[in-house]
Every structure is written in structure tokens, then in C-alpha cells.
Structure 1
Amino acid sequence: MLKGRPSTSKERRVAKKTKKSIRREWTAADIKDLKAHSKARTPVAKIAKMTKRTEGALRQKAIVLGIGLGHQR
């Protein structure tokens, strides 16, 4: 056995492939929906599933628009 090499398959670490996201432009309807969800205080995870966008993308757009998302303390 060589030094520094894993001896069993359990010790091996394989890098996971990440899913490549699809870039889509924000339409006026998307922004209107995001503002409505912000006002209704819909959880970000729920908005992400409905809009098929990541939570990070939603949060970044909300910051640009100057609106709050998720829990607001």
C-alpha cells in the first residue's frame, strides 16, 4: 500500500457533479410575482420551487429591487 492513498473504497472521496443552472432573463411578470410573494411573506424555498429559480437568485433580485424576502425580523 502506498502512503497517502486510501486503502478501502469507503475512504475514497469522489467529487460530486453539480447541476448546471439555466440562465433566464427576469420578465416583468416574474418581477411582479416576486413582489407579490414578498408582500405575502411567502417562504423563499416555496417561491424557488414555483419559479424554478434558486434561492440565491431570488434573494439577489430582491436586493436589487429593494424588497425583502423570507423571514423579516
Structure 2
Amino acid sequence: MAKKAKKMKSGRRGYTKADVKELCAHSKAKTPVAKIAKLTKRSEGALRQKARTLGIGLGHQR
């Protein structure tokens, strides 16, 4: 039998390709993390974690 995709817990949203592209663009533009958080409706910590997994600089790590 084929495996079923796991559903995420309520309140969690995955990152789409468009979300990742937008995050990379903000990184290149050196947009402050607080501003990105408001635009994407995600926490600063979540954005920092995703940037870290993607290997891009964000915020004070640049």
C-alpha cells in the first residue's frame, strides 16, 4: 500500500516554493526580520530557522 502523507498539527503551515523564493529575496534585499515576519505572518524565530536550513543569511547573522 502507498503511504499516506502526514497531516500537520493545527496552527502549522508549511513553506511553499513561493514562500522560500520570497524569503530569499528579502535576504538579498537585507530586509529586517521584524518586517518580514509581519509581511509573511510568521514568527521571527520560524523565519530564522527556515533561513538557517536554506543556508541563507537573515538578520544579525549576516
TM-score between the two structures when normalised by the length of structure 2: 0.79
Moved over 6 A (4+): none
TM-score between the two structures when normalised by the length of structure 1: 0.68
Q: Deviations over 1:1-47 (max 9, x none)?
A: xxxxxxxxxxxxxxxxxxxx821010000000000000000000000
Counterpart in the other structure of 1:11: none
Q: Where does structure 2 lack aligned partners over 5 or more consecutive residues?
A: 1-9
* Structure whose alpha-carbon radius of gyration is higher: 1
RMSD: 1.3
Q: What percent of counterpart residues are identical? A: 75
Q: Distance in 2 between matches of 1:23 and 1:67?
A: 22
Structure showing the higher helix proportion among its residues: 2
Aligned residues: 52
